[in-house]
Amino acid sequence: MRTLLLLLVLLCLPCTALAEGFSGYAEVKGFAYGERFAGEPYGAGWGTLYNKWEQRLAESQFTASLRAEWLTAPQTSPLVFDPADRKLRRPPLSVPELWLRVPLAPSHDLELGRFQLGWGKTDGYSPADAFLPRDVTDPFADEKLPLWAVRLSGQEENLRYQAVLVPVTTPWRLPPLGSRNAPIASGALPEGTRFQEQDDAPPLAGFAALRLLATHGDWDLGVWARSGVRPAPILEFSLDPALQTGPVPVISVGRRYPREHGVGVEVSRVAGPYVVRGEAAALFSADPELGDALIGTLSVERGFGDGTLLITLAGNAIDPPVDPTLLFDRGLLPALIVAWNQTEEWGAWKLVWDCGLKRGDGLIKGEVGYNITDTWKVTVGGDLPYGAERGPLGALHGARRLVAALRRSW
């Protein structure tokens, strides 16, 4: 509650109080759910205070940001030092960015520190970055976690490259098991089953990746490779007799992080108002539960004024050895994803449809943002998961909700 009051006060601070080079926002967000779930209430709140500092240092660029958050649901950890986001829950204080870009030569840069890595489309699906760590504390927000990494990038004529070394594993962050955001299929376990989640330490070493891109006329061609620890964990369930002190079963849940290697190709072409993209990736792992994968995507993007319509079809030609839901980034495959983003004079709106083609489950998401002034914005929307409860999105039927948010930017 103290944090929420602080956010409300900061919403009223004038922008002139902030020094040049600073930007950020304060936001208060409320959720209204369609039903109670395992004792969880009909409503929830989320407050965020975010500040970012950008500074030129001669020819270099330094960027740092700090985020403070408050959630009514038990999704955050105690106030602990977790600079690499390796703890089980979302920390109330975090450093999303802390990096330095140093020019080595014309069109060649070195970046060091903490930043996001992404090689695919935000509202589509790309096997090049689908495995990257995500925070699904809010299962309907596609939030990538930043990495501690070193990135070398550059361009020579029509050839572009990125080489990335991630020395520390940042794992996927999951919501509490058994909650409305991470339910267990009804009937699979006795009623009232509790989960004892182990805050185990992921492997220290991360992964390395290399990407090469070339442009020829209207064509863009690329190849990539990566190797190392996979940030998406494999959950391991066990029944510890020492925890069975009552009539309700208590199941221990650990996380295991196998190694994975992958290579991929991508091609795109501009065809009038359309951009057509295709990707294929071969992924290999000696882990018997992860196994191999052969993932392909085909997408079409069309611009409409200040907006885009993106349609993506993605699938895996190799059946996973376990339920694909347990592998996270492959859980929805095969899938059809349709995303329409549009910016208007008064604000912006967004519509997304994620459809799992195997189980028939999916998600319809919509939101509208209205700019009250240059610094104040209100957003309303909703998330409607539907379909079979054994699907990764259909299982989230208890998380159907309406969302409203008020943001003050500077």
pLDDT tens profile 391-403? 899 999 999 999 9
Mean pLDDT for the stretch of residues 220-236? 94
Picking from 17-26, 119-128, 211-220, 346-355, which range would have the lowest pLDDT averaged per residue? 17-26
The arithmetic mean of pLDDT across residues 338-345, rounded, is 95
C-alpha 186: how far from chain center: 26
Q: Above 70 in pLDDT, residue 55?
A: yes
pLDDT, position 12 = 44
Q: Is 4 helix (H, G, I), strand (E, B) or coil?
A: helix
Higher pLDDT, 59 or 10: 59
* DSSP strand pairing (362-371 vs 335-343): unpaired
Band of pLDDT at residue 103, cut at 50, 70 and 90: very high
Question: What pTM was computed for the model?
Answer: 0.87
Q: Give the mean pLDDT of 193-202.
A: 84
Q: Which two tokens stand for residue 294?
A: 């052969």
C-alpha span between 105 and 44 (Å, rounded): 50
- The percent of residues in the chain predicted with pLDDT above 90, rounded, is 62
Tokens 């309700």: give the residue.
248
Res. 188: pLDDT tops 80: no
Q: Which of 168, 228, 174 is nearest to 202 (CA)?
A: 168
User: Where residue 122 falls among pLDDT bands split at 50, 70, 90?
Assistant: low
Quick one: pLDDT at residue 195?
83
Q: In whole numbers, what is the pLDDT of the chain averaged over residues?
A: 88
Q: What are phi and psi of 205, to 5 degrees?
A: -65, 140
Beta-carbon contacts of residue 110 (< 8 Å; ≥ 6 apart): 101, 102, 103, 104, 150, 151, 152
* SS3 of residue 326 by DSSP: helix
Nearest of 361, 339, 363 to residue 351 by alpha carbon: 339
Q: Is the domain covering 2-237+249-409 a CATH 3.40.50.800 domain?
A: no
Q: Kind of pairing, strands 207-216 and 259-271?
A: unpaired
CB 228 within 8 A of CB 208: yes
pLDDT at 205 over 70: yes
DSSP class of 17:
G
